[in-house]
Chains A and B, each alone.
Chain A
Amino acid sequence: MVPQPQLRPRAARILVVEDEALIRVLIAEELRLEGFSVIEADRADDALTYIKAGEQVDLVFSDIRTPGSLNGLQLAEAFREKYPDIPVILTSGNALPRHVGILGAFVSKPYDVTQTIALMSSILAQKSPGEPL
């Protein structure tokens, strides 16, 4: 029997939206070390442009306060409306906005990177149990 090449599973793609470069780089580096593919955006507008360009992501992790015309909540609303299969996790140093629950999970800042990555992994596992991402 001829051995068949095994398909390498695609790494889950996480879109991180954070305007503080040092925070963004820190979480992005840790995610890459965990084997995720990471797209870094500093504005919610850029994140939406990226998706509209046809690029694929599996999860969005966004700060609520972002510069530009869209904030993280509006980005989450846009995803809920147009890309409901892509889970969104929001983060902020401020109090949890009342309606954030229907838009996605919420992580308070400053966040524990390990716990945040565990949350992302668990949400991705629920999204497609048993399937390589």
Chain B
Amino acid sequence: MSDPCILIVEQDLLVRTPLAEYLRECGYLVLEASSAGDARALLEDGSRRIDIVLAEVKSGEPSGFALASWVRTHLPNTQIVLAGTIATATEKAGDICQEGPALSKPYDHRLVLDHIQRLLAARDRNDRT
């Protein structure tokens, strides 16, 4: 089975790059997008199975929320994790995402990894049942 694929949606190159490199070191295939629009282009491309989308709430237009809604509608097998710095935004993200709670920024790379591992483990359990 191929390595799980994570799509990181984050505008800030200095935030996105270290997180992406960390997750690659952990063995994941990581795609990067700087906006929800770019993320959608990668998701619609369909040439790779994307397991988890880790998106910043404020990711331009469309927002991370809109991206999350689109993913839930069109790619039910792809899980989405929203991250934000505003408490209310992360609460709302928790409502939208399949597996709350959402992540808070700034990212703690270890927590992001734990969250991803839990989501993938839960998905694998569901696939087996």
Task: Point out residues on A near B: beta carbons under 8 Å.
Answer: 21-22, 25, 28, 32, 37, 39-43, 46-47, 49-50, 53, 55
Contacts and interface: CB of A to CB of B under 8 A. Distances in A.
B89 interface: no
Contacts of A32: 24
Given A21-B41, A21-B42, A22-B42, A39 B31 contact: no
Interface of B: 13-14, 17, 20-21, 24, 31-35, 38-39, 41-42, 45
A50 B14 contact: yes
Given A39-B17, A41-B13, 16 more contacts: A22-B42, A25-B32, A28-B32, A32-B24, A39-B13, A40-B13, A40-B20, A41-B34, A43-B34, A46-B13, A46-B34, A49-B13, A50-B14, A50-B17, A55-B14, A55-B17
B45 A50 contact: no
A57 to B, nearest CB: 11
